[in-house]
Amino acid sequence: MSRDMRPVAGLLLGAILGGALVQAHTYQVRNALLAQSRLSQLDARHWRQESLRLRDQIAEINRKREKKTFVQSVNLEVMKSPVPLIDVEAALEPYTESLLGIPLSDVKLSMVYQLYQGRRLVLGEHIYRVEVKALLVSPEVVVLLHLTPLGRTSRG
């Protein structure tokens, strides 16, 4: 090799060694990041499974608690009532009483709806049809009713 080529060869050899060192460092960093990524994925999987386990535990607790929960009261509310609420409550008391004490898990909206919907009430000298407008089923059941006058009774 000629003397003029030695500096170029040294420079080229230095560049190759420098590139190899950079590549080795990049390879180490890449491997470290891959290992960290795998650990993060395992950690995420663990916490996802833990989250699902806790969700199932909470659902089970809620199911057990719901089975122990009973209908404690039934509140009737009448929209623009033409008669006193106490009279409506007294007329519907047999239906209201039948709900008390039932496990909340057994109470269905359709059941409560059918219990009151379309009933005919005689209050004073008037006949009213009961329409259920809204329901809230919880330990304190709330039934929003509307009374439609159908006519007068024929007493005499």
pLDDT confidence of residue 81: 76
pLDDT confidence of residue 106: 78
- What single-letter DSSP state applies at residue 99? H
**3-class SS of residue 42:** helix
pLDDT per position as a tens digit, 15-55:
898 888 889 889 998 999 999 989 989 988 988 898 888 88
pLDDT per position as a tens digit, 68-120:
678 888 888 888 777 888 888 888 888 888 888 888 777 788 888 888 888 88
**3-class SS of residue 137:** coil
Q: Which of 103, 105, 111, 74 is nearest to 89 (CA)?
A: 74
The CA distance from 67 to 103, in Å, is: 6
- Note the pTM of the prediction, 2 decimals: 0.52
- What single-letter DSSP state applies at residue 46? H
pLDDT confidence of residue 140: 84
pLDDT confidence of residue 20: 87
The answer on pLDDT for 149 being more than 70 is: yes
Q: Where along the chain do its domains lie?
A: 1-68, 73-152
pLDDT confidence of residue 45: 92
